[in-house]
Structure 1
Amino acid sequence: MKIKKGFYLILGCLSLALGAIGAILPMLPCAPFLLLAAFCFTKSSDRLHAWFMQTKLYQNNLESLVKGQGMTKKAKLRIISIVTITMLFGFIMMRATTIGRVVLIFVWICHLLYFVFGVKTMDEKDLVNDNKSQTM
């Protein structure tokens, strides 16, 4: 059992680091890494999970999504553009592989549909007001 918790702890710390880098660099998405970090911290340590939920990194990037409130338009556009650029690079590299290109197009379309129709869009003001009400 200690090995399993240690694995989740290491994976959570690695995911947190990648998520923090992704919050700064535009080419690395932060949300998937931060979600993985939250999951791993839940499995490894209650104290570490509670700490992570209180960080600005979590509150600014994931909290509204996890609560089901959605994401800001800016965050959605950033994720969509990063994935589009990344997949375009893969598409260009697969010139000779037609099936690979078809799969990439399918995944890209599913990604767009999910973020456009599956994730609610919230106003930036709502996010700021929600964060202010929590700190009071």
Structure 2
Amino acid sequence: MEKHKIIKIIWIILGFIGFGLGTVGVIIPLLPSFPFYMLTLFAFAKSSDRLHKWFMSTELYKKNLESFVNKKGMTVKTKIRIAACVTLVMAVGFIMMKHVPIGRIVLAIVWVCHVLYFIFGIKTLEVEGGEND
């Protein structure tokens, strides 16, 4: 098999893994869907125009990524939802590291950077008219 085809297959597999984990993240709030859908978008763009167009036409893409990809920003509701999920996951890790103080410090620094990035690094978009997020 040609090297190009193998790489394409790997991107497709990564795209479907991201899609599956992102979809689980929509159902289970502890798993953030945004980074997995970003992986899906990137992987499908690298591998298959048809899969890329299909993913961009789904409600999952439109609800979770479209505003960020097109306008390079997110609504307040989306920012809060993503930050809350990440905070919950990091809180579990923080609790589990009660005997690892350096781990807690690193996790706290990562969490603060994450929150600051969402507040100051990502443009906040206004919700248009009757659009529900």
The reply to whether residue 59 of structure 1 matches residue 62 of structure 2 is: yes
Greater fraction helix = 1
Aligned counterpart in structure 2 of residue 39 of structure 1, from 33, 39, 42:
42
Give the whole-Å Cα distance in 1 for the aligned partners of 2:130 and 2:82: 18
Give the whole-Å Cα distance in 1 for the aligned partners of 2:88 and 2:101: 19
Q: Which residue of 1 aligns with 2:106?
A: 103
Q: Which residue of 1 aligns with 2:22?
A: 19
Contact 1:64/1:127 (<8 A) preserved = no
> Which stretch has the larger CA shift, 114-123 or 99-108?
114-123
Give the whole-Å Cα distance in 2 for the aligned partners of 1:127 and 1:64: 15
Deviations 1:51-89 (A, max 9, x none): 111111111110110123421211111111111111111
TM normalised by structure 2 equals 0.88
Aligned counterpart in structure 1 of residue 86 of structure 2, from 83, 86, 106:
83
TM normalised by structure 1 equals 0.86
Q: Which runs of 4+ in 1 moved over 4 A?
A: none
Q: How much has 1:125 moved relative to structure 2?
A: 2.7
CA RMSD in angstroms comes to 1.9
Give 3-state SS (helix, strand or coil) of 1:71's partner: strand
Q: Identity rate of aligned residues, in percent?
A: 53
Q: How much has 1:22 moved relative to structure 2?
A: 1.6
5+ long unaligned stretches in structure 2: none
Aligned AA (2:23): A
5+ long unaligned stretches in structure 1: 130-136
Give the whole-Å Cα distance in 2 for the aligned partners of 1:126 and 1:70: 17
